[in-house]
Amino acid sequence: MMPNSVDNKNANQETAYLAGGCFWCLEAVFNRTEGISAVTSGYAGGKTKNPNYEQVSSGKTGHAETVKIEFDPEKISFEEILQIFFSLHDPTTPNRQGNDIGPQYRSAVFYADEKQKNSAKKIRRQIDGKKIYPHLIVTEILPLKEFYPAEEYHQKYFEKNPQAGYCQLIINPKIAKFRKKFSRYRAYAFDEKLRD
């Protein structure tokens, strides 16, 4: 797998790289978000070149399970994406999301430029200030160096495995929460998007 740099497909397209626990959860929600054209599960923030899932899962490569989000900033801003992101996981637990434990499950924003860096710091500060969580946010805000797409079986995992236990117990509630809290961003169901 070749690493992807910060690559915009056209002038109207921007890219965000977010890690918040298992990438299947973030991918499933952002695939249902208006203004987002593509979501790719992968790995960022580590030192090993071209890592595979088994290597990342060991916690020794330094990578976090990360999603690459391609979006139209005229329809949804980077800051709005961050607000959704911070609501989908617990950003106060270092190297852990629920039963998923290890540095590969840490919370991180990998920024593409200074504007994204400043936006991430601003949103993190705002959420801390509102005391939404009982503890301070530990989400890392780091420059994106390389992003490696995950293996094909991880892509659109929820759509391929909707009856799997993890999808039913973990991902479905996140999608329901998103639909309730951020209904203005859900203009279509994922299956409708695929038919376009």
Which residues are tagged catalytic? Answer: 22
Q: Quick one: residue 176, left, alpha or beta (phi over 0 = left, psi -120 to 50 = alpha)?
A: alpha
CA distance 189 to 31: 9
CA distance 135 to 97: 14
Beta pairing, strands 107-111 & 14-20 = antiparallel
In this structure, what token pair is assigned to residue 150?
């995950």
Cα–Cα distance measured from residue 193 to residue 48, given in angstroms and rounded to the nearest whole number: 35
Strands 64-71, 36-44: parallel, antiparallel or unpaired by DSSP?
antiparallel
First to last CA, the chain: 28
Q: Which two tokens stand for residue 87?
A: 């609501």
Assign residue 140 a region (left: φ > 0; alpha: ψ between -120 and 50; beta: otherwise): beta
What the block records as the tokens of 137 is 């946010």
